[in-house]
Amino acid sequence: MEAPIAKLSFEAALGKLESIVESMESGEVPLAELLAKFEEGTKLLKVCEGRLKDAELKIEQLKKQKDGGIGFEKFETGQEG
């Protein structure tokens, strides 16, 4: 039995999202299945965004603790967008 989408790790959610995108791009998915995949992909995207936001907040908290003061630096992901 698969884990509910909301409980997936970032890596697991991203992997599922990538496989959904690949299958949708193939052009061989029937419309009804395409809509279901789009809906699942949207949920997975929200999970990924949430995990990234949580990681960013944790990094900011750790920097604050390390520096002893309040100072935020831009969070670089290595991806352009």
pLDDT of residue 64: 81
pLDDT value of residue 80: 47
pTM more than 0.75: no
pLDDT, residue 1, reads 45
CB neighbour list of residue 76: distance below 8 Å, 6 or more residues apart: none
Contact 41, 21 (CB under 8 A): yes
Q: Is the Cβ–Cβ distance between 56 and 75 less than 8 Å?
A: yes
DSSP conformational letter for 68? S
Q: What tokens appear for 74 in the block?
A: 């831009």
The one-digit pLDDT tens for each residue of the chain (81 residues) are 467 898 999 999 999 999 999 999 998 889 999 999 999 999 999 999 999 999 999 998 888 877 666 555 566 665 544
Domains detected in the chain: 7-67 (1.10.287.1040)
CB 51 within 8 A of CB 15: no
